[in-house]
Amino acid sequence: MAVIFPSLFRPAACAAVTVLLTPLMADTPLPYRDSNQTIETRVADLLPRMTLDEKLGQLSQSVICEPRHREEPNPSLVRSGRLGAFILAIDPAVSVEIHNQFQHIAVEESRLGIPLLFGYDAIHGFRTTFPIPLGLASTWDPALVERAQAVSARETRAAGVDWTFAPMSDLARDARWGRVAETFGEDPFLTSQLAAASVRGFQGTDPGAPGHVAATLKHYLGYSAAVGGRDYNLTEITPFALRNLHLPSFHAGVQAGALTVMSSFNANDGIPAVSDRHQLTDILRGDLGFKGFVVSDWEGVIESIAWGYSATPAEAARRSLAAGNDMEMVSTSYRDTLAAEIAAGRIPPAVIDEAVRRVLRVKFALGLFEHPYTPALAADKVFLQPDAVALARETVARSAVLLQNPDVLPLAKTVKHLALIGPLGDDGDEMLGTWPGMGRPQDVVTLAQGLRAKLAPGATLEVVRGCDLLEAGPRTRTLMDGSVVIDPVAEARETPGIAAAVAAANRADVVILALGEPRGWSGENASRAELSLTGRQSELLAAVTATGRPLVIVTFSGRPLVIPTLPVNAAWLHAWHPGVQAGTGLADVLFGDAVPSGRLAITFPRAVGQLPLFYNGYTTGRPDKRDYRDLPSEPLYPFGYGLSYTTFRYGAVEIVPPAQPGQPATARTTVINTGRRPADEVVQLYLRDVACSEGARPEQELRGWQRVHLAPGETRTVSFALDDAALGFFNREGRWLTEPGDFLVWIAPHAHIGEGARYTLTR
């Protein structure tokens, strides 16, 4: 099961940038400086030359220009070889200068000239910001995601960053957890495909070539299963669930060649992930064959003390390094304590050496010894280039999911008076989403700007904010002690913003309501107990709905929203936080220049009380008794759901026996476009293992999909192989098994629709 990715171990390629040779580099023909040698030869030559302090330096990462960090960047640490990496948290206008300043010290003033690594969170773009990952996942298009991440890598590397902390490979298991915004959704198969695509986009075929960066699979492992959706929390994941739900996306990322992995903040079964040897060594390196290095999350090593797992910084450092966490981010316990731990015999020197080898391999693979410096940044030739902007516009259009449409969309090009109402209609900053890289509000095309560009001559767009995203409600009052009480006086208060919105709606032919949650309410440390619209948006929605005007609701968020008062006669387009081309991409969809093809990568609940809720749950022993007393158990919209501007009809699923012994059976069906517009349909394959000797399997599991483009009236036969990859599962020890027996097979437009066809595997 171990996987070797040979690209990491071939000689580093030469990047097409200016190389500044130092006297040491020019006059000392040492093997580790010879790019014609293999990476393993170079590492084997360099490691014995290093002192213990220099080795510990390679395992330490500090931060530049982060005000809340207690340690200022220290040139003397770099000069003495006691620091191996930085996080850049600065504006790209100065990032290259800062990068080269510290790299100069490392390469030309330190004893061995080992270059630094510079990392940054470029998660869904750098300056060209794409939709958040949960939005990218809604495209169900790995090739598109790979192209977007390649643009991100190009811009990131040009800004002096050679290592990005992405892709996030966690599953979205609870929409209350703010970091579902950074995931590729709730399904391990979909997440695996998109994580691998991201690695390919970031690293290319040669991570040392110009325009590529090292990728990081994060957060390893099980971070998203946090109790109550509360960030940084405890997880209780069984070995069976760990192998089949949380691990596959990391496995796929390793197979794609990811150079680094980040350990997570959670503790599973009481053991902090940063100190979990079974996960970091037995599984990651043993079963998955990972050859790169593992970095902690921000101060993750020292936080094992707060967990109550380690008593001192020395114990935290010793346990984490021995477990397989190679580099410490921001906190300094490795650098401060491990020399004494070695002297006391509490950790073998060989453990240090192995961790350093892993870090050095990545630096050689990135070509940093040959090309340590970044050319001066020409922002106008790197950021927001025409191809990047066009791609961002395409991803916005293809990530938006049409959830409801009673013949309101697409808008007629002849519309005369359009009202855009809501706090998110003309707000560029909010479109950027969580972890927006170096995206800037002034780069954003807002929805208002995108709509104006579509209107015919003489047509008008009236933009009214209506209310603020976080404005306090009119019927409550917060006391000095923080408690909230009913304010009877507020019942009679006038609300000019909402009143103005109602007046604008009454004047309009069509109303577009732009609602949602603030971008700062999703992402890290942004858990929510309620998923409703914030501030007074629910009142705004009710007031505008009461006008009876044709209504389109466009929602922006980093997670599913619960809107219990959503009118059934309104169209609903969910746009996530879409990035710099928000307005253009969404206007393309709203006016029909792009046909919606986004499909949900995460389930939309009816109420928060249903959470955690995901499509691949279990039937239980009493499948007909799963409802609440006051609510059905079914979601509002299931995984895989999404409407189009046309309609599709699926035929019955047919199981075709193997053509020859040893070949797999095939499941196939016909799909016909029964509407009047050409469009893409995302045809999805789901299976259920009816009886599994190792333990109950989920009610449904996505095991494939195909995007098909159909003209009006066109019929297509879509087939899927029922092979080992589709039918198998991991046992608790990590072995892939395919058992004979009965399976249910669905080929459908989304999860939990239709009757499954029965297939019996006899071998």
pLDDT, tens digit, 9 for 90 and up, residues 251-289: 999 999 999 999 999 999 999 999 999 999 999 999 999
The percent of residues in the chain predicted with pLDDT above 90, rounded, is 88
pLDDT digits (tens, 9 = 90+) for 111-142: 999 999 999 999 999 999 999 999 999 999 99
Query: For residue 413, what are the contacts with CB-CB under 8 A and spacing of at least 6?
Result: 454, 456, 591
- How far apart (Å, rounded) are the C-alpha atoms in residues 326 and 328? 7
Per-residue model confidence (pLDDT) at position 299: 97
pLDDT digits (tens, 9 = 90+) for 156-166: 999 999 999 99
Q: Beta strands 267-268 and 271-272: pairing type?
A: antiparallel
The percent of residues in the chain predicted with pLDDT above 70, rounded, is 92
Residue 32: DSSP 8-state = G
Angle at 98 between CA 97 and CA 104, to 5 degrees: 90
Rounded to 10°, the helix 39-46/349-365 angle is 130
Query: For residue 308, what are the contacts with CB-CB under 8 A and spacing of at least 6?
Result: none
Mean pLDDT along residues 642-668: 96
The chain-wide mean pLDDT, for the chain, equals 92
CA atoms lying within 13 Å on the CB side of residue 488: 0
Q: Is-catalytic flag, 297?
A: yes
Mean pLDDT along residues 355-364: 98
Instruction: Tell me which of 19 and 617 has the higher pLDDT.
Output: 617
Tokens of 171: 């599953």
**What torsion, rounded to 10 degrees, do the Cα atoms 32, 34, 39, 41 define?**
-60
pLDDT digits (tens, 9 = 90+) for 56-97: 999 999 998 644 444 456 899 999 999 999 998 777 778 898
Q: What is the CATH number of domain 401-597?
A: 3.40.50.1700
Residue with tokens 């003495």: 80
| Residue ranges covered by each domain of the chain | 6-365, 401-597, 648-761
Confidence class for position 568, pLDDT limits 50, 70, 90? very high
Mean pLDDT along residues 490-505: 76
Residue 736 has pLDDT above 50, yes or no: yes
Residue 417 has pLDDT above 60, yes or no: yes
Q: Would you say domain 648-761 falls under CATH 2.60.40.10?
A: yes
Tokens of 18: 């200016």
Helix (H) and strand (E) counts for the chain?
A: 23, 29
CATH superfamily of 6-365: Glycoside hydrolase, family 3, N-terminal domain (3.20.20.300)
Out of 121, 174, 297, 443, the active site residue is 297
Residue 705 has pLDDT above 80, yes or no: yes
Angle at 265 between CA 261 and CA 271, to 5 degrees: 100
Residue 20 has pLDDT above 90, yes or no: no
